[in-house]
Amino acid sequence: MKSSTVVPIGLKTRLDDRMKVALNAMPVAISWSRIDDDVVEFMNRRFTDVTGYTLAEAGTVADLIRRLFANRQQANHAVVQLNRLRGQNLLEPFEFPQEEVPIVTRAGKLLPTRFSGVMLPEANMSLAMFQYISAEKEREERLQAIAGQDPLTGLYNRRAFDAAFAEALNMSRHQETVGLIVMDLDGLKPVNDTHGHSAGDAVLRHFADLLRSTFRSSDLVARWGGDEFAVLIRHPCSRTNVAVALSRLEKAVAKPITIGDGQVSVGVSSGIAFYPDDAQNLSELYRIADDAMYSAKRRKRNAMRT
């Protein structure tokens, strides 16, 4: 009696089916799309696990990019580049350079990833890969903390700020004016409660960017923790110039912030103290500025009640 030969089912599948089996086993989030019409054809299991999106929700690559990319400018640039390449009728493979891309999952969580991809015109296929880099980011954050940097915003942390401020006072000649501004974001908690902490983190980074653009490069901007920030205004420093800068900052903060597909709004309360007019030492300057900030918060609350 002849023994029958059993042909493994996997050998009967088409090449793309076998490729899907292989890609589903990969620890990296991978998707592919058709170049001609931009439609996403495949997502591996890791892609769905990491992002929360299924193939049925994907649509086109442009749709997926706008959902995933946390940075709107980065998303728009990627879509423009993709459309430009598709319009060139490429004959040779094109490899996208690796770059760090923070993504927002379907559940609203912000994740650090490293993106890479390749367009394969001969196969009418564009391949995209997102590697979750949490462990690397944690190592970077530890190094930044050691270096005196806030890991979320890239600003100085409290320890580095205190040291720099003490040095500025010690080096101040002829009683030159040095200013201290302390600030709290108003309305950050409702953003966290409604939209998630990833949205709150995005607001904090946005505010840090506004601080950098508002104050001079010679001034020192720090995040003390939570929604607390501070600015050291180095010499030359005048009350008028500080007031003008704060007014400009408050107007910028008042503009709605785009987070994902929606918008959120926050405000800022600030207090100011000047050396040597208001106090002669660091701790007293902190106390005066902090009291002024909380007085500003109370005035806002009272104004809202009336």
Looking at the annotation, which residues are catalytic? 227
| Alpha-carbon distances, residue 225 vs 157, 161, 222, 265 (angstroms) | 8, 12, 9, 20
Question: CA-to-CA distance for 286 and 293, rounded, in angstroms?
Answer: 11
CA–CA distance, 164 with 148 (Å, rounded to integer): 11
Q: Coil, strand or helix: which one is 77? A: helix
Encoded tokens for 235: 């010499």
**Residue 111: which residues within 8 A CB-CB, separation 6 or more?**
50, 102, 103, 104, 105, 132, 134
As a whole number of angstroms, the distance between CA 200 and CA 259 comes to 9
